[in-house]
């Protein structure tokens, strides 16, 4: 996207730009967590447990005396990694399957469609739940578990775009010129699906973070001592919620904010990059 | 005028009478249903096949023991044992025979009479007596009865436990909630989904995963008991929801061992009418090295680990004050056998945090570890939030002396399998002991051959001392030896004790006669509980 | 039409079959089985006794054979025995179904009412402050973890009202008011979240419809704005809204898993998590299949309804 395009986007989609800015801030937070954090996120302090937010502990401390602000700052790393990782992984796998299935058609398509229907028939969280239980708890495995339900969504979108593009004249021309199938698929069709791909990844990014939080809440998410936002809500937040509401409020707000931002950006990108989905901005 | 004086005299007398009646203990009222709380459904109804308070607590009202720890006395000991199915008992043959004389008026819930054969059957099954056909699917407490040579039932109302050698503690095991008498006419497998006892309450309905309902046993052999018409155990999975339910008056009593001190206090503050009882329990947190790994043969390394973890900080932070420091045995005033505060001070990990950490660093350096060659350790624990929290604290303490420690979370379901196979470096666990007694504690956790000695600690000398204390009938002499064993185990780093849990029982003010003991496994009979509404 | 229906049914059955294989295999990959868990509560594992127990439960057979046995049992209408409770799985699952169905219906109702209403208002006042506020409100619902919202609701109730909904299931025949209060809060938490998508679709469908000529005609004829919007525009925007409700259903079941836990409702979704953690295969696999059947059925009905409402769709072509 050139600078002009970018400015244009900001003018036409101010809310989308706001979402993008929020996500950018979050990414910067994750990258510069070492600088931004005021405390070691896993360092316990028996003398200052469940402390109210003060100058030294901006967002208070948890029941082990760990600094919540620093945990949220470091938690951004985990949440972004899981959100982005699983959204990209799911979208990429879905894109490859969608590309092949849309381009090849026939038996490949039929088979892929059935498999996708199987994956799609199960509610997202339940599929992720079973996957997470089947794999050992680790950051990578949680990403895989969350990415699986994303595959069919991505596959459907990409396959749809491929089916549309396939009929374009220049593809016909390439085929007539004897260009190989793989070459056509990857060189000519793939670049044209980049738009829907970005839209999809952005939209799924937020949903992946929510799924991670729910998995952590149910005890199947990212293992300690990684400070993930979902786990921060699950471990003792509920227990101490009444005495120390900041344990519940801040991590939950962080999750909601980043998901909100991703929804804003996703909508704006969809309107800009994928006009077929309708010109109406939803926010 | 006279009238006024009469009135005055009348009102003075009347209010004096009122005050007198209020200060005297109110007479128990019969009736009402107790709303009790569970955190999950019991794994089964067969107490003898389970080793969790989750099974004992909601099933105890259905059964009776031979003897029981007095439900109304806070501290359990030899002196607090009261009769249940046995009217009286004696020690014979220099302590090698324990003879019980049974009640004659007892019936099972299905109307069949209770006899000495039921008692013999139950404990023969549990100890896996040679030649017995009935077997338990899982038998966690066979070890308790290792010293029983045979059980005789010479007549329907007499049962004699013949012992290999004197064991004054045996009756304590029999007084635990873990030792109900099963009916001989029902196979144990059937007792997993229902209960068939002689107890004060009969099972009415089970909605799997939702609730368990009991009704009063009208034919109960103790006249006038139980007071309650019934008990409803409701399963509430989410902890904050459980507390909200108590606060809002939906539940009368919490789940035992709901050790969250902070929240109990918060709830008490916003609902001051609730009664908060705190009590220490013999459920303890510990972390331990895998003694079967050669690196941990180095006593210096073990001491360094022991010194690294500040116990007072652990109790303050990881447990929010809801634990008491101690050695193997629960310390006084809660328990009977534990080390005093003065003796605890000599144990590594119980002193000044900064000094001990410096010493730990020094010992680590001597053992060959330092900044250039950090000691890398994995600390395993169960994938349960509270365990993970405990472990997070321990890991951070180890990091503070330069050990590169990481957490490994193991699903509860496979935890014991892994521990039994000794596939770990360091582990953090929480363990409950049915009875506050050295036999129950030492035999299970520290003897070389015990299947539940997960740390694989093995010291023949200690083994001999453990056997010796078990036979000593004179309490004071036995106590001294128990203290000696406890101290040696701590100094040797057999298992590093982090703390003994305290429980914070938050109940409605109208619940009477539910007295938490120092063992959560033994006070759930509910026979004496009544509602002052 | 008939051929199309048959075709759709065949695909649905094929999909369900594939799901059964997937779920069966996945559950077997989960480390540890019920035998481990039974022994775990005893604190140690005795290998001989463990093997015996596994044999008794049929867990020593090859996975393929276990699978075939499961299908056979299901075909006979036998859902197996819950390992955890030692009683027929159906006995455990049956009383939970109405709870989840009621909660899901109530939540859908709230989602539709809230979503359609805000969507219509938002479209009618396009680009006004109200439009922005409503869109903000709706997107906020979509962005919150539903269990967090549930936690906040319970916290608020207990701190400000000193009251929480009943902890055990209250039958509507026993106490209608308590029953309603028990369901309304979790339904609100799930429904609010679900309303976001419906609101979005409603709004864009409405905007599209309102640009159509007949709406302009209706306006020009001097019909009142409210009559135009609700009488003409909404009726024509119904089609995409119905589609999204089907999609919403699957989405919502996931939300129920955590919400039922937070509000302690004895529903199917909460129990599924327990069954998975307990390795209670008969209950877990049958519950997942039950949910899958529900989702597939809803999707199928929505498709058919869509075809019925929109004559432009021709059946018989793929």
Q: What is the pLDDT of residues C138-154, one digit of tens each?
A: 989 889 988 889 888 88
Q: Specify the pLDDT at position C15.
A: 86
**Distance of alpha carbon C305 from alpha carbon A144, whole angstroms:** 36
Whether C270 and B237 lie within 8 Å, measured CB to CB: yes
Q: What is the mean pLDDT of residues A192-205?
A: 83
List, in order, residues 6 or more apart from A219 with CB less than 8 Å away: A234, B383, B384, B385, C277
Q: Which residues in chain B are closer than 8 Å to A50, comparing Cβ atoms? A: 262, 320
Q: Return the SS3 of B116.
A: helix
| B243 pLDDT above the threshold of 70 | yes
Q: What mean pLDDT, rounded, does chain A reach?
A: 81
Are the beta carbons of A280 and C254 separated by less than 8 Å?
no
Query: Quick check: B392 and A42 CB within 8 A?
Result: yes
Please check the confidence at residue B120 and state whether its pLDDT lies above 90. yes
Cα C290 → chain centroid: 11
Supply the pLDDT for residue C311. Answer: 57
Residues 6+ apart with CB under 8 A from B450: B143, B443, B444
Q: Which of B208, B237, B241 sits opposite C92 (nearest CB)?
A: B208
Write the DSSP symbol of residue C81.
B
The confidence score (pLDDT) of residue B303 equals 93
Asked if A203 and A270 count as a contact pair (C-beta separation under 8 A), the reply is yes
Residue B282 pLDDT level (bands cut at 50, 70, 90): confident
C-beta atoms of B318 and A44 within 8 A? yes
Q: What is the pLDDT of residues C295-310, one digit of tens each?
A: 888 878 877 777 676 6
pLDDT tens readout for residues C21-73: 988 888 888 777 788 777 776 666 677 778 888 888 888 888 888 899 888 88
CA dihedral B447, B449, B451, B453 (to 10 degrees): 30
Q: Identify the chains in contact with B, defined as 3+ C-beta pairs within 8 A.
A: A, C
Q: What are the angstrom distances between the C-alpha of C196 and each of C116, C120, C134, C222?
A: 10, 13, 10, 33
Digit-coded pLDDT (tens) for B362-401: 999 998 888 888 899 999 998 777 888 889 899 999 999 9
Average pLDDT, chain C: 82
- Does pLDDT of B406 surpass 50? yes
- Cross-chain residue pair B240–A223, CB shorter than 8 Å: no
Pairs across A and B, CB distance < 8 A: 85
Point out the residue among C41, C164, C266 whose CB comes nearest to the CB of B244: C164
Query: In the predicted model, what is the mean pLDDT of residues A1-14?
Result: 73
| DSSP bridge pairs for B163 | B148
Chain C contact set for A134 (CB, 8 A): 26-27, 29-30
Q: List, for residues C197-237, the tens digit of each pLDDT value.
A: 889 888 888 888 877 777 777 777 777 777 777 777 777 77
- The answer on pLDDT for B14 being more than 70 is no
Of the given ranges (A155-164, B81-90, B159-168, C224-233), which has the lowest mean pLDDT? Answer: C224-233
Q: Does A225 sit within 8 Å of B263, measured CB to CB?
A: no
Name the band, by pLDDT with cuts 50, 70 and 90, for residue A283. Answer: very low
Chains sharing 3 or more CB pairs under 8 A with chain C:
A, B
Residue B489's pLDDT band, with cuts at 50, 70 and 90, is very high
Predicted-complex ipTM score: 0.83
CB–CB of A60/A53 below 8 Å? yes
Calculate mean pLDDT across residues A186-201. Answer: 79
Contact C44 B52 (CB under 8 A): no
- pLDDT value at residue A181: 73
What is the rounded CA–CA span in Å between residue B122 and residue B101? 16
Q: For residues B339 and B482, give the distance between their C-alpha atoms in angstroms, rounded to a whole number.
A: 9
- Highest averaged pLDDT of the listed ranges B20-24, B96-100, B315-319: B96-100
Q: What is the 3-state secondary structure (H, E, C) of A112-143?
A: HHHHHHHHHHCCHHHHHHHHHHHCCCCHHHHH
Q: Calculate the average pLDDT of chain B.
A: 89
In whole angstroms, what is the distance from residue B68 CA to residue B83 CA?
A: 6
User: pLDDT at residue A140 above 90?
Assistant: no
Mean pLDDT in residue range B132-156:
90
Main-chain dihedrals φ then ψ at residue B250, nearest 5 degrees: -70, -35
**pLDDT band for position C314 (50/70/90)?**
very low
Find, in chain A, the residue whose alpha carbon is nearest to that of C23.
A130
CB contact under 8 A, B317 and A46: yes
By mean pLDDT, which of A47-56, A206-215, B226-235, C300-309 is the weakest?
A: C300-309
How many CA within 13 A on the CB side of residue B194? 13
Query: What mean pLDDT comes out for the span B248-264?
Result: 83
Q: Does A94 touch chain C (CB under 8 A)?
A: no
Does residue C312 register a pLDDT over 60? no
pLDDT band with cut points at 50, 70 and 90 for residue B338:
very high
Is the pLDDT reported for residue A139 higher than 90? no
Res. B171: pLDDT tops 90: yes
Q: Which has more confidence, A188 or C1?
A: A188
- Contact of B263 with chain A, judged by CB distance below 8 Å, is answered with yes
CB-CB contact of A233 with A240 (8 Å): no
**How many beta-carbon contacts under 8 Å exist across A and C?**
144
String of b and e for A229-241 (b: at least 16 CB within 10 Å)?
bbbbbbbbbbbbb
> What are the chain A neighbours of C260 within 8 Å (beta carbons)?
none
Which residues of B fall within a CB distance of 8 Å from C150? none
């Amino acid at each position: 996207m050139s600078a002009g395009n970018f400015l244009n986007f900001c003018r036409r989609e101010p809310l989308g730009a706001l979402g993008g800015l929020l996500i950018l801030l979050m990414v910067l937070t994750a990258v510069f967590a070492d600088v931004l954090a005021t405390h070691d996120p896993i360092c316990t302090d028996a003398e200052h447990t469940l402390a109210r937010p003060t100058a030294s502990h901006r967002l208070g401390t948890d029941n082990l005396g760990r600094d919540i602000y620093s945990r949220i700052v470091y938690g951004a790393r985990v949440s972004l990694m899981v959100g982005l990782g699983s959204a990209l992984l799911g979208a990429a796998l879905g894109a490859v399957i969608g590309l092949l299935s849309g381009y090849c058609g026939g038996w490949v398509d039929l088979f892929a469609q059935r498999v996708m229907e199987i994956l799609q028939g199960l509610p997202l969280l339940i599929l992720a739940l079973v996957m997470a239980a089947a794999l050992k708890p680790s950051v990578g495995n949680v990403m895989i578990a969350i990415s699986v339900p994303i595959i069919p969504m991505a596959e459907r979108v990409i396959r749809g775009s491929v089916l549309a593009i396939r009929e374009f004249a220049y593809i016909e021309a390439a085929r007539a010129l004897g260009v190989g199938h793989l070459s056509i698929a990857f060189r000519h069709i793939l670049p044209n699906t980049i738009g829907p791909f970005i839209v999809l990844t952005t939209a799924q990014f937020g949903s992946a973070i929510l799924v991670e939080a729910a998995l952590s809440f149910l005890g199947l998410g990212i293992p300690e001592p990684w400070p993930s936002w979902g786990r921060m809500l699950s471990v003792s937040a509920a227990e101490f919620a009444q005495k120390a509401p900041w344990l519940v409020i801040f991590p939950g707000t962080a999750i909601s904010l980043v998901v909100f931002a991703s929804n804003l950006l996703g909508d704006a990108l969809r309107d800009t990059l994928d006009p077929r989905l309708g010109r109406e901005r939803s926010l | 005028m006279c009238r006024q004086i009469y009135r005055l005299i009348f009102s003075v007398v009347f209010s004096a009478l009122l005050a007198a009646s209020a200060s005297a203990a109110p007479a128990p009222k019969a009736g009402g249903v107790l709303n009790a709380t569970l955190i999950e459904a019991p794994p089964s109804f067969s107490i003898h096949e389970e080793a969790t308070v989750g099974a004992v607590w909601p099933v105890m009202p259905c059964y009776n023991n031979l003897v029981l720890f007095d439900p109304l006395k806070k501290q359990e000991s030899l002196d607090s044992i009261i009769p249940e199915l046995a009217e009286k008992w004696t020690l014979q043959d220099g302590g090698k025979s324990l003879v019980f004389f049974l009640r004659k008026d007892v019936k099972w819930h299905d109307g069949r009479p209770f006899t000495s054969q039921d008692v013999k059957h139950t404990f023969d099954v549990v100890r896996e007596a040679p030649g017995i056909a009935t077997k338990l699917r899982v038998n966690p407490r066979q070890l308790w009865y290792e010293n029983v040579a045979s059980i005789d039932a010479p007549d329907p109302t007499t049962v004699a436990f013949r012992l290999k050698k004197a064991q004054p503690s045996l009756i304590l095991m029999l007084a635990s909630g873990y030792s109900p008498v099963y009916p001989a006419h029902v196979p144990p497998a059937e007792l997993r989904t229902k209960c068939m006892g002689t107890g004060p309450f009969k099972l009415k309905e089970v909605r799997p995963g939702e609730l368990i309902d009991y009704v009063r046993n009208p034919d109960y052999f103790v006249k006038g008991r139980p007071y309650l018409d019934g008990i409803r155990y409701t399963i509430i999975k989410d902890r904050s929801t459980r507390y909200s339910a108590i606060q809002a008056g939906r539940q009368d009593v919490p789940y035992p061992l709901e050790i969250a001190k902070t929240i109990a206090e918060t709830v008490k503050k916003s609902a001051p009418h609730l009664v908060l009882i705190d009590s220490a329990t013999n459920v303890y947190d510990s972390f331990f090295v895998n003694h079967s790994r050669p690196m941990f043969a180095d006593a210096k390394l073990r001491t360094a680990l022991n010194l690294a973890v500040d116990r007072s900080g652990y109790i303050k932070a990881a447990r929010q004050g809801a634990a008491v420091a101690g050695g193997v045995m629960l310390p006084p005033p809660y328990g009977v056998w534990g080390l005093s505060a003065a003796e605890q001070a000599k144990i590594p990990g119980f002193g000044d945090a900064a000094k001990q950490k410096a010493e730990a660093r020094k010992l680590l350096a001597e053992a060959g570890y330092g900044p250039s060659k950090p000691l890398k350790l994995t600390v395993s624990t169960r994938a349960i939030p509270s365990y993970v929290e405990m472990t997070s604290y321990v890991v951070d303490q180890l990091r503070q002396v330069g050990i590169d420690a990481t957490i490994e979370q193991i699903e509860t379901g496979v935890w014991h399998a892994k521990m039994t196979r000794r596939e770990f470096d360091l582990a953090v666990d929480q363990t409950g002991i049915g009875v506050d007694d050295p036999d129950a504690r030492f035999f299970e956790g520290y003897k070389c051959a015990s299947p539940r000695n997960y740390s694989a600690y093995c010291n023949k000398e200690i083994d001999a001392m453990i056997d010796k204390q078990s036979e000593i009938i004179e309490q004071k002499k036995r106590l001294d030896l128990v203290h000696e064993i406890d101290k040696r185990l701590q100094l040797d780093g057999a298992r590093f004790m982090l703390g003994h849990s305290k429980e914070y029982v938050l109940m409605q003010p109208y619940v009477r006669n539910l007295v938490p003991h120092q063992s959560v496994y033994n006070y759930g009979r509910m026979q004496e509980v009544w509602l002052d509404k | 039409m008939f051929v199309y229906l048959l075709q759709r049914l065949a695909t649905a059955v094929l999909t369900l079959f594939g799901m059964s294989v997937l779920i069966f295999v996945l559950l077997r990959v989960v480390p540890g089985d019920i035998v481990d868990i039974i022994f775990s509560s005893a604190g140690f594992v005795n290998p001989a006794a463990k093997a015996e127990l596994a044999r008794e439960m049929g867990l020593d057979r090859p996975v393929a054979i276990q699978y075939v046995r499961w299908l056979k049992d299901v075909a006979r209408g036998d859902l197996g025995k819950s390992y955890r409770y030692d009683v027929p799985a159906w006995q455990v699952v049956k009383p939970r179904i109405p709870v989840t169905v009621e909660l899901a219906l109530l939540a859908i109702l709230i989602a539709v009412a809230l979503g359609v209403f805000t969507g219509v208002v938002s479209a009618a006042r396009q680009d006004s402050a109200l439009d922005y506020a409503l869109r903000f409100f709706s997107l906020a619902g979509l962005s919150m973890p539903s269990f967090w919202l549930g936690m906040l609701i319970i916290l608020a109730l207990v701190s400000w009202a000193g009251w929480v909904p009943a902890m055990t299931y209250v039958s509507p025949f026993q106490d209608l008011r308590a029953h309603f209060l028990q369901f309304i809060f979790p339904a609100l938490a799930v429904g609010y979240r679900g309303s976001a998508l419906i609101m979005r679709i409603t709004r864009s469908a409405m905007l599209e419809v309102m640009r159509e000529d007949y709406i302009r005609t209706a306006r020009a004829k001097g019909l009142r704005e409210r009559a135009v919007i609700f009488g003409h525009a909404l009726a024509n925007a119904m089609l995409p809204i119905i589609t999204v409700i089907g999609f919403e259903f699957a989405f919502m079941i996931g939300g129920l898993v955590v919400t039922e836990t937070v509000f302690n409702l004895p529903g199917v979704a909460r129990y599924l998590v327990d069954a998975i953690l307990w390795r209670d295969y008969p209950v877990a696999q049958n519950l997942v299949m039950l949910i899958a059947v529900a989702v597939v059925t809803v999707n199928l009905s929505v498709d058919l309804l869509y075809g019925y409402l929109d004559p432009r769709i021709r059946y018989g072509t793929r």
